[in-house]
Amino acid sequence: MNILLLGSGGREHALAWKMKQSKLCDKLFIAPGNAGTARLGKNVNINVNDFEQQKSFCIENNIELLVVGPEDPLVNGVYDFFKNQIDWKGFVIGPSKYGAQLEGSKAFSKKFMQRHNIPTADYAEFDATNFEEGKKYIQQHSLPIVLKADGLAAGKGVVIATSHDEALNVFEEMIINKQFGEASSKVVIEEFLSGIEVSIFVLTDGKDYKIIGHAKDYKRIGEGDTGLNTGGMGCVTPVPFVDKIFMQKIESKIIRPTVDGLSKEDIGYKGFIFFGLINVNGEPFVIEYNCRMGDPETEVVLPRLKNDLVELFISLHDGKLSETTIEFDERACATVVAVSGGYPGDYEKGKVISFPEDIPGESIIFHAGTKVIGNDIVTNGGRVLAVTSYGKNIGEAVQQSKNILKGISFEGMNYRKDIGYEFE
């Protein structure tokens, strides 16, 4: 079948790499893609939110499967748009606009978890109508206080305030000064949970589900988990503390109730759920839901997944997910992300990247922010490359990626040398 994939990051390069291996994949198109996806299929210059143009392209190119990488088009209703097109016969991997609120609205997801008794931090929500009440709530809240803009805020909408004054300032910035526009007109205030985070990935048709992998992400720019938050500087899998007992708790207390909740409430959901969890003294709590795969988690989860991904998408669409068995590569996988100088603050683009001549079989260079200019591949974003490797254990996989990174260069290049440090 012909496939159109939306997005342009490392996650999309990994999705394209995995789908391209399927015997069921004929032509693969990526909109808009990057220099890495261009080697696997054809990049097409269509915006991820331009559904009309995507539809014309799908009809002209006999696309039967539309896979959505990033959250934006999902929250904007790409699933519903295509579902209503009688002249297009394909299917979309992704939740409905309503279901995508699990990521698109913190208040929606907290209420959903409350209705289905899914463990998460205690919370309250406020907007301009009960702003004064919110200030009192903050003043009486224990420290630290977690404040979350309700809507999508490009990963910047969560603040962990360590004083009441800071929390009150953030609260006012978000609601009164509309720091994130409409996205912060409502704010969720929640209890701070202390523990190690892990991301769990599930494919669901809204009734059945399969766990397709998990990973630990390193979000801070600096070694030892210091400095500003980024989109993710590296990932490892499998995570040693996600053992059988912990996974059983995750399934029975979080995944099953979530999927049952979607089913009971008749929420259309045929796609990925990314559970952002925290391990609090051996008990899993939900920090957030995302309605897509993670980046850079995808760059380690898909290399470890042995199943044919296109086949899984078809099983999902046909309601046959329960008949499939998920298989994982025995090896560990790690990815280390090379970023532009200055990221996550301001950075320059257009730096020429040089690559090693030979890449050993146990490593894959996934492109994130790259594009082709003439004969060169140049930087085109903050996160530039995600170098993934297999290894006997996490330490070996990380070391292998770092060896490859020594052979890669572009002006200002930076990467964390300590990915997976707790597990070596």
Binding site for ligand AMP (CB under 6 A): 121, 146, 148, 158, 190, 192-193, 197, 276, 287-288
Taking CB within 5 to 8 Å according to partner kind, which of ligand GLY, ligand AMP, none is near residue 294?
ligand GLY
Query: Is 327 in contact with 358 (CB distance < 8 Å)?
Result: no
Q: Which of 12, 80, 150, 297 contacts ligand GLY by CB under 6 A?
A: 297
Taking CB within 5 to 8 Å according to partner kind, which of ligand AMP, ligand GLY, none is near residue 288?
ligand AMP
Residues binding ligand GLY: number (CB under 6 A): 6
Minimum distance from residue 316 beta carbon to ligand GLY (Å): 21
Binding of ligand GLY at residue 232 (CB under 6 A)?
Answer: yes
Q: Which is nearer to ligand GLY, 193 or 386 (CB)?
A: 386
Residues 277-296 that bind ligand GLY (CB under 6 A): 290, 294-295
Minimum distance from residue 285 beta carbon to ligand AMP (Å): 8
374: left (phi over 0), alpha (psi -120 to 50) or beta: left
Residues 188-217 that bind ligand GLY (CB under 6 A): 217
- In order of 254, 260, 310, 395, 418, the CA distances from 117 in angstroms are 9, 11, 33, 37, 37
d(CA 232, CA 297): 8
Taking CB within 5 to 8 Å according to partner kind, which of ligand AMP, ligand GLY, none is near residue 127?
none
Q: Which is nearer to ligand GLY, 294 or 382 (CB)?
A: 294
Query: Is 137 in contact with 189 (CB distance < 8 Å)?
Result: yes
d(CA 158, CA 147): 6
d(CA 113, CA 276): 13
Sorted by sequence, the CB contacts under 8 Å of residue 28 that are 6+ apart come out as 2, 3, 5, 16, 19, 20, 40, 41, 42
State which amino acid sits at residue 370: T
Minimum distance from residue 70 beta carbon to ligand AMP (Å): 15
- In order of 55, 78, 268, 352, the CA distances from 85 in angstroms are 8, 11, 17, 42
Helix (H) or strand (E) holding 18: helix 10-20
Taking CB within 5 to 8 Å according to partner kind, which of ligand GLY, ligand AMP, none is near residue 15?
none
Q: Which is nearer to ligand AMP, 66 or 287 (CB)?
A: 287
Taking CB within 5 to 8 Å according to partner kind, which of ligand GLY, ligand AMP, none is near residue 190?
ligand AMP
Taking CB within 5 to 8 Å according to partner kind, which of ligand GLY, ligand AMP, none is near residue 295?
ligand GLY
Minimum distance from residue 229 beta carbon to ligand GLY (Å): 10
Instruction: Report the chain's terminal Cα–Cα distance, integer Å.
Output: 42
Sorted by sequence, the CB contacts under 8 Å of residue 403 that are 6+ apart come out as none
x/- track of binding to ligand GLY for residues 32-51 (CB under 6 A) = --------------------
The tokens describing 342, both together, are: 């200055």
Minimum distance from residue 326 beta carbon to ligand AMP (Å): 25
Q: Rounded to a whole number, what is the largest CA-CA distance in the chain?
A: 62
Minimum distance from residue 277 beta carbon to ligand GLY (Å): 12
Query: Is 105 in contact with 150 (CB distance < 8 Å)?
Result: yes
3-state DSSP call for residue 335? strand
Taking CB within 5 to 8 Å according to partner kind, which of ligand AMP, ligand GLY, none is near residue 150?
none
Q: Which is nearer to ligand AMP, 35 or 215 (CB)?
A: 215
Taking CB within 5 to 8 Å according to partner kind, which of ligand GLY, ligand AMP, none is near residue 384?
none
* Strand partners for 305: 328
Rule CB under 6 A: which residues touch ligand GLY? 217, 232, 290, 294-295, 297
